[in-house]
Structure 1
């Protein structure tokens, strides 16, 4: 689990839940590893070794969460919220979108997404929409459209 908590009380509650049913291995240790805030090479390594990304945001200033694009690039299963413009980042009908602040739907959807075909489909979506070459081509096309003579 990467990221920070809104409060110390929230962190304690989350940590306590990690000892719940289905979240411990045969040695009684948590299956969830908390790493806190990550960036740069640490974030890249974490994405590389992950199976999926759960991003249940409802942050007021969320606009274009780059972590979702990074997760697509690494071919991860993704579950995120139908918050602001986030649904526009995904193909029509993407099953990994859940309502904001709906933990039961989040858990159910994440369980369904892991091992589904969506990760490969999202990787293809990334290659079609979000590579540097594609984005530069779209910028060039937009600029040419502004001045068709030039």
Structure 2
């Protein structure tokens, strides 16, 4: 098994598609391709469908097209960085500090991430409908994390 080195897949959609097309053409026997964002998931989906690729494809981040590609099996999985949860944690800490003088914890709060697969993609699609559905989905997680924040706060030198 040969692991290809990282390459610059570009961020904007058209250059990203061109970069991934070149990569797939240069590695016709690839068993997996892992992209790093919205453009990569869209490009890998289009390329895999157009070429009838048999490799596993995955990427980071969520968008509607990527979620549908997981649902229909074109994309194996998406790494969900949990942007809503991270934003909520940061805002709540700042608000509680501003309103009540509560100390902001020292360190790095790691609320986690999630792998989106065919096994859970429908619940993630439902979650992503609107702000209210995200709030309902995340409320038990938020309650758990704020009940025991020390379990989620790590020293800054452990930030990864």
Instruction: State if a TM-score over 0.5 links the two structures.
Output: no
Q: TM-score, normalised by structure 2?
A: 0.32
Q: TM-score, normalised by structure 1?
A: 0.34
Between Structure 1 and Structure 2, which shows a larger proportion of helix residues?
2
Between Structure 1 and Structure 2, which shows a larger proportion of strand residues?
2
